Structure 1
Amino acid sequence: MGKFASGFGLGKCAKREQLPKDHISELPLEILLHILSFLTFKEAARTSVLSKRWKNLWTYSARLDFSDFSALKRIEESQGAECENVRKMERCKFVKWVNKVLQLHKALALDEFRVHFDLQGSSREAIDKWLQFAFSRKVQRLQLDLSGHTNFGRQSPKSYAFTYGPLGISRKSSESNPCALIDFKSLRALRLTGVNISGEVLEFILHNCQCLENLVVRYSYDLINVEVSGPLALKHLEICFCFNIRCLTIRDTNLVSLKISYPDTLVLKNVPMLVDVSVDGFSDEGIRGVISRLSCCLLKLEVLTLPVSSGEARELEEMLHELPPQLPKLKQLTLDVLTEEGESLLGLTDLIRGSPNLEKLVIKMGLDDEIVRKRRKLRKAINYSVQHLRVLELSGFLGYTNEVELVKYFLDNAVALEKIIIDTRWDPGEFCCPELETEAEEEEEEEKCARRRAKRRLNRLTPSHVELVIL
């Protein structure tokens, strides 16, 4: 009692409860900014409440990521006439937010500048200024995604058009002396989604961005003819869902990877470094036409993604027999498969014959294909020793006969097989939108059933030395 009366005990407790010294805030500015570089832009902004030292540090952030998914969801969930009112209100709030941040921002250089929101050409003035800001800060990675919450069909003549304006030049001057007008030495990656850009502007950027290595264009209404050629720094190119495109010519470049949606538009010539090709759209000429258009790089391909129906595999088998081995360096093959009338998937095994060094095979099957569920007796395919295949992955697996017999084929013939991954999950991937959330919930029960079927039918088939993973 005496201790408390004298105040000694309380003083001692107060001393013991004293907060430790904030040593982190005393670190040099360069180190604090380096710490912020590991945070998202919103997380970095929240550090302003930590102390006076942190209050304005976020304004020096080298990564600016402007996205508001909660607002996008409110837009998508609104109905009828209300939808347009909500959209206008949210767009106005978003534009004001970005403008305010850019007014406060003090960094002289940007590693990344990203905008993801539902905006169109009506916001041209604001978007032009944002891009000019990014270029003035020597941005290295630029992403402009104006497709909103969903990418489905967001190609429109009303979309924002990326022209010469944000580059600070006029079309007339760009034609007369483009190289002297703007310096793009800092830009290394450009990703445009739901943005209209012409082939002319795209080619101008390619030839003036001396360090541009990664280019992605999706859902561009204005992209019709594109030529990628000459001594470019470009290593990775993706042009997908540009529905008006007529011709994509790629020649005399050191491109390493390519992803396209419309193989019938593709012209490839002299691409000695191309080792990774992904085609996610069907050709009017069939699988034979796709392979023909890739003929100049087949001998060097290491990674290939193709859409294919089980019936088309027989057509390709004949061609592979004519020119074996067709894919001698291929290490990974991904097939987006559509089946017809409960047809066996064993025809796909013919593709493996032209890929003697294949190490990983991924087969993605149709999501809601009722024909997969048709029950029938197991078929047998001609045995062919698969020497190097180590990993087999089946996505969209429902556990029905044609899928099980495909797994059994590789268990019998892939002598080096180490792992089988069975993925029963429904995954909308990058094209997720709120309308699909309900559908995803409905798929959950079917996924559980598929996992039970997979365990029941594959556990007894899989030997102990092969790891079976069911997701």
Structure 2
Amino acid sequence: MLEAKIEEINCEDRISALPEELLVTILLLVPIKDAIATMILSKRWRNIWMMLPRLDYNETNDVNHARDWGGDDNDDGDDDLESKSIWWFLDKSLKLHKAPVLEILLISLGRRCPSDANVGNWVEKAVDRGVVVVKFKLRWSAGPTTLPKSLYTCETLKELTLSNKVPVDFPSSSSSPSCLPSLEILQLSCVVYKDEESFARFLSSCPVLGTLIVERKKSDNLTNFIVKVPTLWMLWYYNTTWLVDDTDVVDSGSCLVIDTPALIKFDVTDYSRPLGRSGICLVLRRHILVSTVYLFLTRS
């Protein structure tokens, strides 16, 4: 009987020999959990993920991925009994992250996120590293969280998305008249506003803001929604803060004011206002090239 021959084949690890910049580019193509898992491959891979300029922590499943940054907190898709929050994973990995610049931070957490999680600390770390894009969605059982004041003075921030249990509470005082000098895109989806004055300060502190996307829901606490931005060229406004039924005759006195002389495109969809009891005021000082307005008004 012939003895089986065992041939030893040495496989050369050519991938690990690639430059660090290229390895980081490869890891950007996979989910963050898979990227961090590569640290166990070898000593060469141990710290590669720590240099990623983009971190995406998404607690939603594939079904809800497309609607992850929109919609209100009635979306229960990712909160089944078997789901678990990734907050601990996010917290640990951000502490180990060493990239000098964190360009993009995407965080989407569900209702299982512990109420004592310091979510504002994660955003602050990104601001300290010159973040360019921040998208933060929080749908937990606790009340609105607190964002760091440094977010509202971030000079590198160009795109900001806040959604659900995230408050819009712009500081009342600032050493600089232009707190967000680079912010070009702002999306507010079903957020919690402190008051009208705070929101006005927010918009007035964005000297180059060009795109504003707003989604409001029934629990919205603003009566008058005033958009006064000289540089704004595109506005998308969707409001579902409707009354319960036709028997509700309380006049809320709410209104939408759009004072945007540079506006060339706007899309307004409003289901909330009964005819004769509210209004939309547009102050336009130039020709509107593209405009779409959908007003779904209930009977008064």
Structure 2-normalised TM-score?
Answer: 0.70
What's the offset of the Cα at 1:199? 5.1
What's the offset of the Cα at 1:212? 1.0
Secondary structure of the 2:44 match is coil
What's the offset of the Cα at 1:248? 2.5
Structure 1 match to 2:180:
209
Q: Counterparts of 2:117 and 2:10 in 1: how far apart (Å)?
A: 53
Secondary structure of the 1:216 match is strand
Q: Counterparts of 1:196 and 1:244 in 2: how far apart (Å)?
A: 13
Task: Give the structure with the larger helix fraction.
Answer: 1
Residue 47 in structure 1 maps to residue 38 in structure 2 = yes
Which blocks of at least 5 consecutive residues in structure 1 are unaligned?
A: 79-85, 149-153, 170-181, 313-471
Secondary structure of the 2:193 match is coil
Q: 1:128 to 1:112 in 2, by over 3 A?
A: same
Secondary structure of the 1:279 match is strand
Q: Counterparts of 1:73 and 1:285 in 2: how far apart (Å)?
A: 33
Structure 1 match to 2:163:
193
Q: 1:64 to 1:270 in 2, by over 3 A?
A: closer
Describe the superposition over 1:51-110 as per-residue Cα deviations: whole angstroms up to 9, x where unpaired.
43223211211122223336x9798444xxxxxxx99xx55xx44322211221111111
1:22 aligns with one of 3, 10, 13: 13
**Structure 1 vs Structure 2: percent identity of aligned residues?**
21
Q: Counterparts of 1:217 and 1:203 in 2: how far apart (Å)?
A: 22
Describe the superposition over 1:101-133 as per-residue Cα deviations: whole angstroms up to 9, x where unpaired.
122111111121122113599736611221221
8 Å CA contact 2:79–2:110 kept in 1: the answer is no
Task: Give the partner amino acid of 2:255.
Answer: T
What's the offset of the Cα at 1:218? 2.3
Structure 2 match to 1:60:
51
Q: 1:201 to 1:190 in 2, by over 3 A?
A: farther
8 Å CA contact 1:261–1:280 kept in 2: the answer is yes
Residue 232 in structure 1 maps to residue 207 in structure 2 = yes
2:257 aligns with one of 267, 273, 278: 267
Describe the superposition over 1:16-68 as per-residue Cα deviations: whole angstroms up to 9, x where unpaired.
x653x332321211222222233332232233344432232112111222233
Task: Give the partner amino acid of 1:241.
Answer: R
Q: Counterparts of 1:233 and 1:240 in 2: how far apart (Å)?
A: 21
What's the offset of the Cα at 1:208? 0.9
Residue 128 in structure 1 maps to residue 120 in structure 2 = yes
Secondary structure of the 1:240 match is strand
Q: Counterparts of 2:113 and 2:88 in 1: how far apart (Å)?
A: 16
Secondary structure of the 1:266 match is strand
Structure 2 match to 1:108:
100
1:160 aligns with one of 121, 145, 149: 145
Task: Give the partner amino acid of 1:221.
Answer: V
Q: CA RMSD in A?
A: 4.1
Residue 36 in structure 1 maps to residue 10 in structure 2 = no
Describe the superposition over 1:219-250 as per-residue Cα deviations: whole angstroms up to 9, x where unpaired.
23334313234771211112222511122322
Q: 1:55 to 1:248 in 2, by over 3 A?
A: same
Residue 253 in structure 1 maps to residue 230 in structure 2 = yes
Q: 1:113 to 1:124 in 2, by over 3 A?
A: farther
Task: Give the partner amino acid of 2:294.
Answer: L
Secondary structure of the 1:130 match is helix
Task: Give the partner amino acid of 2:149.
Answer: L
Q: 1:95 to 1:213 in 2, by over 3 A?
A: same
Q: 1:270 to 1:215 in 2, by over 3 A?
A: closer
8 Å CA contact 1:229–1:251 kept in 2: the answer is yes
Give the number of equivalent residue pairs.
265
Secondary structure of the 1:102 match is helix
Task: Give the partner amino acid of 2:178.
Answer: H
What's the offset of the Cα at 1:276? 3.3
Q: 1:260 to 1:136 in 2, by over 3 A?
A: same
Structure 2 match to 1:439:
none
Structure 2 match to 1:304:
292
More moved, 98-107 vs 118-127: 118-127
Q: 1:289 to 1:222 in 2, by over 3 A?
A: closer
8 Å CA contact 1:185–1:211 kept in 2: the answer is yes
Q: Counterparts of 2:107 and 2:172 in 1: how far apart (Å)?
A: 19
Secondary structure of the 2:126 match is helix
Q: Counterparts of 1:296 and 1:45 in 2: how far apart (Å)?
A: 50
What's the offset of the Cα at 1:193? 1.1
Q: Which has the higher contact order (CA 8 A, sep 6+)?
A: 2
8 Å CA contact 1:224–1:247 kept in 2: the answer is no
Aligned pairs for 1:263-412 within 5 A = 265-285=255-275, 290=280, 293-294=281-282, 296=284, 299-302=287-290, 304=292, 306-308=294-296
Q: Counterparts of 1:304 and 1:66 in 2: how far apart (Å)?
A: 35
Task: Give the partner amino acid of 2:213.
Answer: E
Describe the superposition over 1:196-217 as per-residue Cα deviations: whole angstroms up to 9, x where unpaired.
4245449979931111111122
Which blocks of at least 5 consecutive residues in structure 2 are unaligned?
A: 62-74, 241-253
